[in-house]
Chains A and B, each alone.
Chain A
Amino acid sequence: MLDLTTTYLGLTLKNPLVAAASPLSKKITNARRLEDAGVSAVVMYSLFEEQIVNESRALNYYLNRGTESYAEALSYFPEMDHYNIGPEEYLGLIQKLKSTLDIPVIASLNGVSTGGWINYAHRMQEAGADALELNIYYIPTDFDITSAELEQNYIDLVSEMRQQIRIPMAVKLSPYFTALPSFARHLVEAGASGLVLFNRFYQPDLDIESLEVVPSLELSTAHEMRLPLRWIAILYGRLPADLALTTGAHNAESILKAMMAGASVVQPASALLLHGIHWTKETLASIEAWMERYEYESIQKMRGSMSQQAVADPAAFERANYMKALTSFDHRILA
């Protein structure tokens, strides 16, 4: 009997396949299908700080505009009883998912400021979330902000969030940090129980016909997993935190690699959107087949087996690609 169980954020999961934050979790029926297909937990789609703030402001602006200006049209829209502006709809969905699913539900909160919105984390906990994934992504366009200040902001935010809740919290990061290991350690010390590597966002594109900057999001491809794979391998075993890999996991092989690098779980999103929910079932079957073929009785056994600490050549994770020609050279000789 193969043992696919893993632990992540203090939760025991039946396998390492966790549905990443994506539009799929907006619908109960999809979440149910994910569970039926075999995922061991669901990370809900992200509640965006920016979205809450902007939706609220936009609604207010458009409902106000033109009102009380002209005698025949003192307003332009009917007054609704309520709007799902703010976290209420999201919190309601947590409750529904919790009552529908047997697998853990991880809420996802996306923001950058330490404003009032962080109490949403507390409300997510009260709504029944088993854990929280905090997604922080900030583009520092201000020339006066230093990397140290930026990192400190992240750490403060994690620390403040930690004080809001008792459920475990993972932090989802971008790969663009100068000294990721040190920064990761500070985040864990501030209260992160896990790190999710890495987030992907809209990267603007340029339309050279219209000369416009256009938003663009493309789904990940399999080769993109190398980046998180490397950093998971480097971080594994050196931090008291779980690691999740979330970019480029498109097949059983990539998930096995993630486990061997040291991930507790893999969070696919693009693969599910691209191949459909049934991909989960097929992938889990492939993992089991592989494990049988290579006689791994448990996931735990392979976890971290190819991390930087575990491999014979730790420097392999430190080299840049152009040095590939020198892979046969053992630089420890020079040490």
Chain B
Amino acid sequence: MQREIVTIDANEAVAHVAYRTNEVIAIYPITPSSGMGEFADAWSAASKPNVWGTVPLVMEMQSEGGAAGAVHGALTTGSLTTTFTASQGLLLMIPNMYKIAGELIPTVFHVSARSVAAHALSIFGDHSDINAARSTGFAMLASASVQEAQDMALISQAAALESRIPFIHFFDGFRTSHEVNKIEQLSEDDMRALISDEAIVAARQRGLSPDHPVLRGTAQNPDVFFQARERVNPFYAACPQIVQDTMDHFGRQVGRSYHLFDYKGAADAENIIIIMGSGAETCDETANFLANQGEKVGVITVRLYRPFSVAHLLQTIPASVKKIAVLDRTKEPGAAGEPLYMDVVTAVNEGLADGSAPFTSAPQIIGGRYGLSSKEFTPAMVKGIFDNLKEASPKNHFTIGIQDDVSHTSLNYDPTFSIADAQTVYCVFFGLGADGTVGANKNSIKIIGEETEYGAQGYFVYDSKKSGSVTISHLRFGPGQVRAPYLIGENEANFVACHQFGFLERIDVLKYARPGGVFLLNSSHGPGEVWQHLPAEVQKAIIEKNLRFYVIDGYDVALKTGMGGRVNTIMQTCFFAISGVLPKEEAITQIKKSIQKTYGKRGETVVQQNFAAVDSTLENLHEVVVPLQVTSNLERVFVPAEAPEFVKDVLAPMLYYEGDNLPVSAMPVDGTFPTGTSQWEKRNIALEIPIWEPDLCIQCGKCVFVCPHAVIRHKVYDPALLEGAPETFKSMDAKFKELPGMKYTLQVSPEDCTGCVLCVEICPAKDKSQVGRKAINMEPQLPHRATESNNWNFFLTLPEVDRTSIQPNTVKNSQLFQPLFEFSGACSGCGETPYVKLVSQLFGDRSVIANATGCSSIYGGNLPTTPWATNKEGRGPAWSNSLFEDNAEFGLGMRLTIDKQSEYVHELLPHVAKTVGQPLIDELVSADQTNEAGIIQQRERVARLKQLLAGSSDPKVKHLVALADFLVRKSVWIIGGDGWAYDIGYGGLDHVLASGRNVNILVLDTEVYSNTGGQASKATPRAAVAKFAANGKGLPKKDLGMIAMAYGYVYVAKVAMGANDQHTLRAFLEADAYDGPSLIIAYSHCIAHGIDMRKGLEQQKLAMQSGIWPLYRYNPALIPLGQNPLSLDSKEPTISVEDYAYNETRYRMLLQSDEHRAEQLMRSAREDVRKRWELYRQMADIEYKAGQKNDDAGNGGSNA
């Protein structure tokens, strides 16, 4: 049978099978499994049928817990049902998994295995999630490659139906889920052949039906629960053989043979490794390499992990074995050993005890950990493990791949050991996210994989920034299948391409190049002059490695052919031309074919401009004559010398791609990191920056207010401080009535700016003689970089405003407060960060922040550097991220601490009355802390108190001193996106609102799950397209504000700073002031809206004007004053919803793909707006009587 050869990643390969062999699919986004759900949803939206001819029903749920519940329900009524998940998502499914397994209902959960968050979150791969689920009763089948992931998806589906045991089918997150590899795709005939219709019918018949009713889900007592629990044993006993039979059936049908445990290596191996997942491929290849050199080594790949078949394992272990290293990609602190190790020890001991083992003397078994959170696992490390086994007393409970200088668990190995072969071609590409490098490389891999006989593999490494991010593509191709699930190593690459000249300043790109290889550089400097612009290290590497060096001015070609900043197809064409993987003409034909396929449906214009770019490339590609000498004195740039030691020693190596070399001792013991570190990472990603024109400036502070990265700031200061200012430092007389006789400066940090232009867009001050000129205007960064950096550094030396001298109740005043959230890795023009920054300015020095997982936790807390900062007194926001689903509760817990400790400290104060004097205690207890002055005075009192009590040995006094800071008012902020607030965390959020406690909840509402790539949430508005709502969301946005208002004692505000900045400011101040729960829902424009991000604030205004986003504040504190708590702060809609919506791709793409549905949904959306406005208006018109009590409002945190 002829099967299609495709070059895809494992998420697509698995979804291909899972979608076609199921009827109901419940999904929820979580990295790295989201892709599987996205494929399923898109196919369902496009009405693609499964192998039985019906289109699977795909349902997005509010959480993985919800997905598991829906899966259980669909299964229990007889549908073939599946889901996809990873990490915390799988953990949320565990309760249902016990139920599903206990009820013997066959299903497959496809898991792209990912680290479970512990000391930190990580999106990358290991087996901690599936191991956490190993007691649920689910069978577990592991895949080691893209091809296997597809094959095992089908084998697990078939075996589940045959055995009645539900399965987790898992494969390594990112390393396998995101690796693109050439595979043979299973046909629908294969799927029908493997899956027994009888088993399906049987599963259906077991489904609950009122036509043959039964009862399931009983509660059982001590008398029978145990027996009933043991009743399933025969099914588990039978399962391994059923899986093997299914594998055999698969082998006959497809031709690829699998076993529960597969052995590879020397027939007489003495030292073997047992491992599962992608690392098994690395071990296999290395063991083969070593066996061919005569070493007696081998590898057992575990496929069926649960039920763990001792018999099958023992049959697989060579009788010659003497030592076994069992590798676990997980860590169980405190355990006797990691799980697979424990399984093998048990199996071998049992085999020896009952005589079923093929050997008579006990082999020595050791266990080791590797590859946590996608830590590289290379042939060199495998060699290191075999070398360890050779030792007389091999190290047990070892780690490999890190340098453990604390517990000394790590094995030494020779990192230069390589099994790279001469037939395979290795290529590494450095690109900028925005330049399309990864997309082009994925296409190149497809071209090579599908148009040549070569095997091909692509893997892509991204950094943790959402703007100006660096991508590294690792491509291999050559004869046979590429089985190398690890990155290309140093000195291995035949071809290294650097698509951004600036990277040479900070990344050692040529460490990958092998001697005699090729280096391709995108450079605006031509072949004649490029050499003198290279850093010395780069020149040295080119000469010493004897590299062939090519340059192209890709940006010039892109500009001339209408490609903007995307150099992808240009660099791709260079790659094919230089590498010679295909004849030049054929390569160009294939590139164009791939362009047509990728961009064809986006219109002929796009196709033609890509074609033009390809056609213009080769004439601009030049080989450089390499001089014999290093002539450059340019050196790579590192963090400044004045940076703190921790930044220099720990964070800087991470910044420069050397983090793998940091030893264990460099890490904090508990995941706690210093704040304020983003200031040391000067990224220089803006091509243009705003430049201030004092003659036009009205000092309104709007630009400072909206800046997403806190790179534009203003200060008011004593004129005498200008002494010693750089000559280019600009200032003008300040126009702040509270601060007379002062000077004013608006300053930009050129190296931190991302060039988003929001500041210029919002600037209201136009030159009356030339309206295109504003008080700030974008100009090229490079000519201003040095002078403005100098000015910025001087600006930082100017004192921050005295917070008692000015009220932050106007936009301009509020922006004098120092931002304590700066230079984050958020997208350029981010709509969320200005709100977050505002919290840091107004309350940062006394706030504790609970941050839900999502964009805000990533730009807020992803290493290497983080944006939360401190003021000169060392105070600043204390920030933590717990989980995605629990953030409201997490923040409430913080509040409970503050409330309890504050109460306790008040209880302790009388105890020290004699020591410190009653007046001080009275002042501390009755202090007015409603304004900045009051808070500062209270801090001074607390300092005095501590001073007076210093040195006391009285335990009560010690407690009092330790807790005294709780006498100063704190502000608890609970921050997260709409995915958290509307969906996964809604239950908790509702409870926290209902608690009456004084917390401030800020919902950064982008109306989609932004961080995982734009999946629909219940905040997604009607008529907008999102992933999981590919046909346009058919139902209206959930009205979270209205739900919260229903409590009557929750402060609620709906804000959009682009629509009304003063309103936003007021809401934040009121929320903090309100002594009870507050909820602010903030319109946050987002890259996932498909808008011109420069116009994000304008879109906010249109959202308000159209009625899509009415502004309001609901302040329960007004009720006792006889005022209506609801103030509708925007006017009745003045423009149509379309005038707002059709500026955004999320709405337009529905119009472009299904105009009829778009019109239908837009009609309903208009009706939504009308009805909601009418309801709000009526609520706002209700008359309240003076003296009306609101017993719940402002209850001081008591819900009694």
Contacts and interface: CB of A to CB of B under 8 A. Distances in A.
Interface of A: 52-53, 55-86, 89, 116, 211
B562 to A, nearest CB: 8
Given A71-B31, A77-B1014, A81-B1153, A62 B602 contact: no
B433 A70 contact: yes
Nearest to B469: A69
Interface string B573-612: 0000000000000000000000000010111111011000
B1038 to A, nearest CB: 21
A116 B604 contact: yes
A318 B1026 CA distance: 61
Contacts of B471: 68-69
B608 A71 contact: no
B1011 A77 contact: no
B123 interface: yes
B171 interface: no
Contacts of B604: 56, 86, 116
B170 interface: no
A249 B608 CA distance: 42
B1090 A77 contact: yes
B462 interface: yes
Interface string B455-483: 00000101011100101000000000000
Nearest to B440: A68
B1146 A77 contact: yes
B42 A55 contact: no
Contacts of B434: 65-66, 69
Given A80-B1149, A211-B766, A53 B45 contact: no
A62 B601 contact: no
Interface in B154-194: 174, 178
A306 to B, nearest CB: 44
Given A64-B436, A66-B827, A86 B1087 contact: no
Contacts of A67: 433, 439
Nearest to A65: B1087
B602 A75 contact: no
Most buried by A among B35, B1028, B1145, B1148: B1145
B668 to A, nearest CB: 24
B1027 A78 contact: yes
A117 B827 CA distance: 36
28 contacts: A59-B1145, A60-B602, A61-B564, A66-B1088, A67-B433, A67-B439, A68-B439, A69-B434, A69-B438, A69-B469, A70-B433, A70-B466, A72-B34, A72-B858, A73-B1011, A73-B1012, A73-B1014, A73-B1088, A74-B35, A76-B1013, A77-B1025, A78-B1027, A78-B1028, A81-B1153, A82-B1153, A83-B601, A83-B1153, A89-B1155
A86 B1011 CA distance: 32
Contact of A78 (B460, B858, B1011, B1026): B1026
Interface in B1003-1034: 1010-1014, 1025-1030
A96 B122 CA distance: 55
Most buried by B among A61, A78, A79, A82: A78
B42 A79 contact: yes
Given A57-B606, A59-B1152, A77-B1014, 20 more contacts: A55-B603, A56-B603, A59-B603, A60-B599, A60-B602, A62-B1090, A62-B1091, A66-B433, A66-B434, A66-B827, A67-B439, A69-B432, A69-B462, A69-B469, A70-B462, A71-B32, A76-B1013, A81-B46, A81-B1153, A85-B603
Interface residues of B, number: 65
A59 B433 contact: no
B609 to A, nearest CB: 8
B284 interface: no
A72 B1152 contact: no
Nearest to B9: A74
Contact of B1014 (A60, A76, A81): A76
A64 to B, nearest CB: 7
A55 B1146 CA distance: 14
B822 interface: no
B1095 to A, nearest CB: 12
B1155 to A, nearest CB: 7
B1200 interface: no
A105 B984 CA distance: 54
B603 A78 contact: no
B338 interface: no
A112 to B, nearest CB: 15
Given A56-B605, A65-B1087, A72-B1012, A83 B1152 contact: yes
A111 to B, nearest CB: 12
Contacts of A78: 38, 41-42, 45, 1025-1030
B499 interface: no
B659 to A, nearest CB: 15
Contacts of A89: 1155
A86 B609 CA distance: 15
Contacts of B606: 56-57, 59-60
Contacts of A60: 599, 602-603, 606
Interface in B1147-1164: 1148-1149, 1152-1153, 1155
B771 A83 contact: no
A170 B521 CA distance: 53
B20 interface: no
A69 B466 contact: yes
